[in-house]
Amino acid sequence: MTGGILSDIDGKTIFEAAKKGDVSANEVVDRYLADLGIGIANIINIFRPEIIILGGRVTAQKKYLTDRLQKHVDKMCFGGVHGEIYARLAREYDVAGYRNLALNVYDQHQIKDGYPHAAANVETRGETVFAAQNAIDGVVVNCHGEWPYQSWGIDRKEDAKIKIEFGRLVEIDRIVLYTRADFPHDNWWKSVNFTFSDESELEMELEKSALPHEIEFPAKRVSWLEMNHMVKSEELSPFPALTQIEVSGREIKQ
């Protein structure tokens, strides 16, 4: 690939050769990803972040990189392959300071002045595994059951609603929902409504899917939002649920 000129070999060359089946290149890539996986796993085991975001030119390899890297990370992380922490490539908004403003892995019922804070008018059987706080803990595995498959459960209530308080004025323009998708046990919402602190409202159409549901809108400055008026599909299951809500935006300079 380089015409025998060793000085022209770089990381991109090695990855391209590995993709074409070159044995030596594959060995180099495997060793690189194993070493990178050890470093990432050490960070995860010590600090327990919600997600690992990768940057740099190597991210041009996209899923070829992340899929193989995830396998190394799973082997070495405490908790194994439960999938509660995963690696993905840095997106443009990660670099620009654009982030999920709803995320709070430490949120609790009794914490009233810590933000972001999630609260709901109902939680299935009052069980922790169905608490409102699960919807902002960063875990996007949208199955159902014990940890790490927790979710916000609505206890079959048609008037269920969940409120996310930011504790300050923030600028947002994107919402992503991960709805529980353990079909046929679970049902799904055809649409949901959002009410914002600026008195505006937004309706979001959903579909039956294990993939995230995303809506973008003109930027607005709010201190809280509430998800309400969830319209359940006509399927027989009475159990729609929310695994995660991400509210993306930026801090407002005071």
* CA angle (49, 55, 61) in 5-degree steps: 115
Residue 32 has pLDDT above 90, yes or no: yes
Q: What is the pLDDT, as a whole number, of residue 96?
A: 65
Strand ranges for the chain from DSSP E: 51-54, 86-89, 99-100, 117-120, 152-153, 162-179, 189-196, 201-205, 213-232, 241-251
245 touches 100 (CB < 8 A): no
Cα 236 → chain centroid: 28
- Of the candidates 160, 167, 221, 159, which has an alpha carbon nearest to the alpha carbon of residue 196? 221
Residue 142 confidence (pLDDT) = 81
Domain boundary assignment for the chain: 6-90, 99-251
pLDDT band at 5 (very low <50, low <70, confident <90, very high): low
pLDDT above 60 for 84: no
pLDDT grade, residue 144 (50/70/90)?
confident
> Which range is least confidently modeled, 28-37, 47-56, 73-82, 155-164?
73-82
* pLDDT the model gives residue 58: 84
**pLDDT value of position 253:** 74
What architecture is domain 6-90? 2-Layer Sandwich (3.30)
Architecture of domain 99-251: Sandwich (2.60)
* pLDDT bucket at 6, cuts 50 / 70 / 90: low
63-76 vs 11-19: helix crossing angle, rounded to 10: 90
